[in-house]
Structure 1
Amino acid sequence: MPVYRKSSGETAEAKAVRVQDVLRLCGEEEGAIAAKVNGIPVDLNAFVPDDAVVEPILASTEEGLDILRHSASHLMAQAIKRLYPGTKLGIGPAVEDGFYYDVDPPQSLTEDDLQKIEEEMGRIVKEALPVERIELPRDEVISIFKEREETYKLELIEEIEDPLISLYRQGEFIDLCRGPHVPNTSYIRYFKLLSLAGAYWRGDERNPMLVRVYGTAFSTAESLRSYLDRLEEAKRRDHRKLGRDLDLFSIQPEGPGFPFFHPKGMTIVNVLLDFWRKEHVKRGYMEVRTPLILEQSLWIRSGHWDHYRENMYFTEIDGRPFAIKPMNCPGSILIYKSQLRSYRDLPLRMAELGTVHRHERSGVLHGLMRVRCFTQDDAHLYVTEDQIKSEILGIMDLMHHIYGDVFGFPYRVELSTRPENAMGELSQWEMAESALKEALDESDTPYKLNPGDGAFYGPKIDFHLEDCIGRSWQCGTIQLDFQMPEKFDVTYVAADGSHRRPVMLHRTVLGSIERFLGILIEHYAGAFPYWLAPVQIRILPVKDDFLSYAREVETALRNWGVRTEVDLREEKLSRKIRDAQLQKVPYMLVVGAKEAEGRKVSVRERTKGDLGEMGLEGLKGLLNQEFNPF
């Protein structure tokens, strides 16, 4: 909401007014670190033009935090250059939850250096150095960075075509930047440096490896403290550590980026997939499977060759070039085209649990969250234009059931529109975007517009889940595609006998099964709900004398379909209970002399502790009360 409008009729003296003066006059200065002038973000010391509408940007807002964090990246870079003279600077953007700067120091940096850099940042904050924007001719800017031997900055300048280039200066530090930034360094008070990582300059493995220093900054001490607490909780929930501790999966040096699922991890995957299949059968999907390797010409035809080949793996068969599939959609189209289709066959919903391979750089691999081989829970729906909205609504209903009803995830929705590298006619994109928007509006689903982030073949709706510690994960997507049916000449016979083009919907719910499992491990901290736990009950015989009865109980439970194991170790009962707790088993059944004689079990629940003795039928009744989406 505008706070001030400056009239062009004011005197010349009145025109020379800065943004911060306007905010001060209107009582809107408190909490502002920048402002919008006619909708454009600017520094507080920028001059206000004629007929301008000025709005404050508060540090506590999302936009304000981005500015604060970008300013913090400059503050950190200045501290690094003070401590390690000769350091060359790469780029230093604000990112989600923080910032980083890629630097090329004259000596190695370690985690121990972070504290020193933080302390130097604190000293610069106390100096309250003014942060000034300056615009200079291109040649002068080149001279400045040549004198400072900032080779990476000079490379960036080569790509800037503007005759005037904006810089930001604070004390002796100067950086190439569009801004805006905070008025002076004292505005950046609540920050923390977090970690170091290697990063190739501009993400290219052929370029030098720089040091990426990560940090975060907030507008208040409380917000920073809360975030750091969440980070500690995230470390406790790290799926890589829990995957080892609970014996769920591993990543071996012989297969970087290619997960190995151990028996317990595979049990969880199979339960997830059984549930997935049940829900899809209920909704009229047919499951298919397509080959792992297909001719290169198919990927050229689909458009993946032009847009995706750097992420693909290739091989040769009988002298012909083939590619390992990075996506399942072209294979689905070949199944559709294997016979003549009628309008009576549509909508045709084909689902696939398809394993795909994508080349990811080694530096971005991360447990199950970023891998080179994964299973995508894809579906491809072939529909007429008048079926688009109803099918999207059906997919959204499935998403709500799985995310909300079954797993209890809150989620938010984004509508992503036409990107720069889009294929096809603008009119088709407009029709596709309109269809997605209508479905969202009809379902009363709140959504955020994400301009230019659609797939190259069509716009999409993305679903972002929020886990129990507030982190967001993009999982499900609905993509509307007019391009693939065109490229592959996909048709159906309409009621009037003519051949028409169906519209293709690409859709995932869980996304990558591997990644979804990683999310679940961290969401539940390894303590899976009863229906999903790899071992639902562990039987704990007090002594070997009661192994025979323990085996009887195990047989009964397995006949009920309960995933059960017996602790056969010669350990004290207290140790067996402790280990079952550490393995996060939902139920423990203690069997000793009293239980064997009375044909009962003593039941312990993971969070409630001792539930007392009960017979097997009583136990069955207890287990039947557990949530089960089947």
Structure 2
Amino acid sequence: MSENKIEHIRHSLAHLLGAAVLDLYPGSKLAIGPAIDDGFYYDIDIQGVISDNDLPKIEKKMRELLKTWKTFEGREVTSLEAKELFKDNPYKNEIIEELSDKGEKITLYTSGKFTDLCRGGHVESVRDIKPDMFKLSRVAGAYWRGSEKNPQLTRIYGWAFNSKKELGEYVAMLEEAKKRDHKKLGPELDLFLIDEVVGKGLPMWTPKGTIIKFELENFTRELEKKCGYEHVSTPYLGGEKLYQMSGHLDHYSQNMYAPIDMDGDKFYLRPMACPHHIRMYQRRQWSYRELPVRYAEIADYNRYEKSGELMGMIRVRKFQLTDAHLFVTPEGLKDEFKRVAGMIIEGMKAFGLLGIVSYRFSKRNPENKEKYYPDDELWNQAESTMKEALDEIGISYKEALDEAAFYGPKLDIQAKNANGKEDTLFTAQIDFLLPEKFNMEYIAADGSKKRPVMIHRSTIGSLERTFAFLIEHYAGAFPVWLSPVQAVILPISDNQNEWAEKVYEELKAEGIRVEVDKNNETLGKKIRAAELQKIPYLLVIGEKEEKAKSVAVRQRSKGDMGQLKLEKFIKKIKEEIITKKP
């Protein structure tokens, strides 16, 4: 079945869902009901309260209505006709007014006794929809238009696939995904929390989570040093003039927080560090011989996200980005961009993520005048250079229109989270615009002043989002080098506590993160507790191990490894840590 056809089926099912709800809950008001990647949903102002327990009843009604529907009949109407039909529905009326203001046509689609405001894109025949190819999945809350200032609606989600078999396979995959969901595993493993009192979208790293955070930071800085970067530190605020010069206030203000007034001057929590790094570059004059200049910083950023779009550690309002900005000559741009891409790929290999990512060449939409800086020559130059670099690297990528930053095209490295939603993990961007806006210069070989080109890139993305993907990718069972606790010592009885302490001190002295479980529990319960915490190595100590100055090793992935001399175990685990074995 074509991608277009399954999308039409999903869209048609959204209509069917809306009709079923109106039948079961008279007086409800339908808002919007689109097709989505795995099915469909409808946002509804429902008369009464419903929960997941009501879904079978709604599903049954959908199948009853399906038998009575044949086709979708569309017709164009005036705004007055549409408003009359939906006179009691403020959500549809708002959409009708917007369409009317834009001069766009207004269309209605009818199937059976149900009519909805819709642009179209349905099945040619309702017979294309089989009763066993869809299933309602869950009930959630959603603010109208995604803004918490608007009424909260009830969102009913459904899955839809080409066949009963595909649907079953997808549901089974989601069951596995639930076990990996970072929002579930994070608190269970005591890695992070999002506290409603602190605020939505403001994650906090626990002691164990912070150990992993520091490992990510150390890895990033070491890789950047190896690749010739210098580390800088800049403030998380910026003055109004800085963001006027950069264009952020013109093109990015919807993602920024309101200004802070200090002594009559306006300051903003920064959404990006590129203007700061530009001003760092401009502190002195540079020769072409000194370029590229590479500034790296693990920087604090604050970006506004609507409440309905926040999700665990993946979409947050405050985060840290492993950011960097490079200033290069036009002649050196392509080769430097290739080096940047290679560096990001090296980072993904270390984390074992290379096999789950895809590459997206994000370009501007020339028709979208509000989003992008209007200079066709600069845009064409940036996009053609990036395309050449990507083709020479030899990676497989897809082009995406209207996904660029306001100042330049991007290489976005995408990955799907446990719930199947795609997000950007890492990014690299070419920018001819900001050097122009800030009048940046370097001295060329002939003594003239020329404009550098800028590359924006993140080594391993934001710490929060990468952390979330690592939790889900490994289901919380991190590689040894990333694990907050790398080994736990399990004395069989109190008689072995003295040897357990000596083992603990030796491991700790070697830089191994280790704990001792002295709880008055059976060995079986201690082992189970350690396994639930997904600790890589369990070191059981009994009378035999104490006499032999050894440990009985249980490895998380391989089970019982038998008795090892302590020095041999230390050598083994240190090798895994040093080599960062995935």
Quick check: TM above 0.5?
yes
Residue 159 of structure 1: SS of its match in structure 2?
helix
Residue 457 of structure 2: SS of its match in structure 1?
strand
Distance 1:91 1:199, change over 3 A: same
- Corresponding position of 2:325: 380
Which residues of 2 match residues 270-289 of structure 1 at below 5 A? 270-289=214-233
Report the Cα offset of residue 127 of structure 1.
Answer: 2.5
Distance 1:170 1:594, change over 3 A: same
**Which of 47, 63, 78 lines up with 2:4 in the alignment?**
63
- Corresponding position of 2:287: 342
Report the Cα offset of residue 343 of structure 1.
Answer: 1.0
Q: Distance in 1 between matches of 2:321 and 2:544?
A: 50
Residue 8 of structure 2: SS of its match in structure 1?
helix
Residue 354 of structure 2: SS of its match in structure 1?
coil
Q: Which has the larger radius of gyration?
A: 1
Report the Cα offset of residue 71 of structure 1.
Answer: 1.3
- Corresponding position of 1:597: 547
Q: Distance in 2 between matches of 1:232 and 1:180?
A: 31
Residue 67 of structure 2: SS of its match in structure 1?
helix
Which residues of 2 match residues 235-254 of structure 1 at below 5 A? 235-254=178-197
Q: Distance in 2 between matches of 1:417 and 1:183?
A: 34
Contact 1:383 1:502 in 2 (8 A): yes
- Corresponding position of 1:87: 28
Show CA shifts across 1:14-36 (max 9, x none): xxxxxxxxxxxxxxxxxxxxxxx
Contact 1:196 1:214 in 2 (8 A): yes
Matched, 1:437 2:380: no
TM-score by length of 2: 0.93
Report the Cα offset of residue 526 of structure 1.
Answer: 0.8
Report the Cα offset of residue 467 of structure 1.
Answer: 6.3
- Corresponding position of 1:298: 242
Show CA shifts across 1:44-100 (max 9, x none): xxxxxxxxxxxxxxxx33332222211111111111111112222211111222222
Aligned residue type for 1:213? I
- Corresponding position of 1:480: 430
**Which of 123, 128, 149 lines up with 1:187 in the alignment?**
128
Residue 390 of structure 2: SS of its match in structure 1?
helix
Show CA shifts across 1:487-526 (max 9, x none): 1111111111111111111111322101111111111111
Aligned residue type for 2:94? E
Q: Distance in 2 between matches of 1:417 and 1:607?
A: 43
Q: Distance in 1 between matches of 2:451 and 2:289?
A: 14
Matched, 1:414 2:360: yes
- Corresponding position of 2:400: 450
Which structure has more relative contact order (CA 8 Å, sep 6+)? It is 2
**Which of 109, 112, 115 lines up with 1:168 in the alignment?**
109
- Corresponding position of 2:277: 332
Aligned residue type for 1:553? V
Aligned residue type for 2:182? H
Report the Cα offset of residue 133 of structure 1.
Answer: 2.2
- Corresponding position of 1:158: 97
Distance 1:477 1:291, change over 3 A: same
- Corresponding position of 1:23: none
- Corresponding position of 1:357: 302
Q: Distance in 2 between matches of 1:467 and 1:323?
A: 31
Residue 252 of structure 2: SS of its match in structure 1?
helix
Contact 1:406 1:629 in 2 (8 A): no
- Corresponding position of 1:34: none
Contact 2:147 2:308 in 1 (8 A): no
- Corresponding position of 1:105: 46
Which residues of 2 match residues 122-271 of structure 1 at below 5 A? 122-146=63-87, 149-161=88-100, 162=103, 164-189=105-130, 190-256=133-199, 257-271=201-215
Contact 1:75 1:185 in 2 (8 A): no
TM-score by length of 1: 0.86
Contact 2:79 2:97 in 1 (8 A): no
**Which of 506, 517, 523 lines up with 2:467 in the alignment?**
517
Count of matched residue pairs: 569
User: Quick check: 557-566 or 454-463, which moved more?
Assistant: 557-566
Contact 2:177 2:418 in 1 (8 A): no
Q: Distance in 1 between matches of 2:93 and 2:422?
A: 36
Q: Distance in 1 between matches of 2:65 and 2:443?
A: 72
Distance 1:66 1:510, change over 3 A: farther
Q: Distance in 1 between matches of 2:188 and 2:570?
A: 30
Segments of structure 2 that go 5 or more residues without pairing to the other structure are none
User: Quick check: 307-316 or 166-175, which moved more?
Assistant: 307-316
- Corresponding position of 1:46: none
Q: Distance in 1 between matches of 2:520 and 2:99?
A: 72
Aligned residue type for 2:7? D
- Corresponding position of 2:411: 461
Contact 2:146 2:309 in 1 (8 A): no
**Which of 557, 560, 582 lines up with 2:532 in the alignment?**
582
Residue 552 of structure 2: SS of its match in structure 1?
strand
Report the Cα offset of residue 618 of structure 1.
Answer: 2.1
Which residues of 2 match residues 4-83 of structure 1 at below 5 A? 60-83=1-24
Report the Cα offset of residue 625 of structure 1.
Answer: 5.4
Tell me the C-alpha RMSD between the 2 structures.
2.0
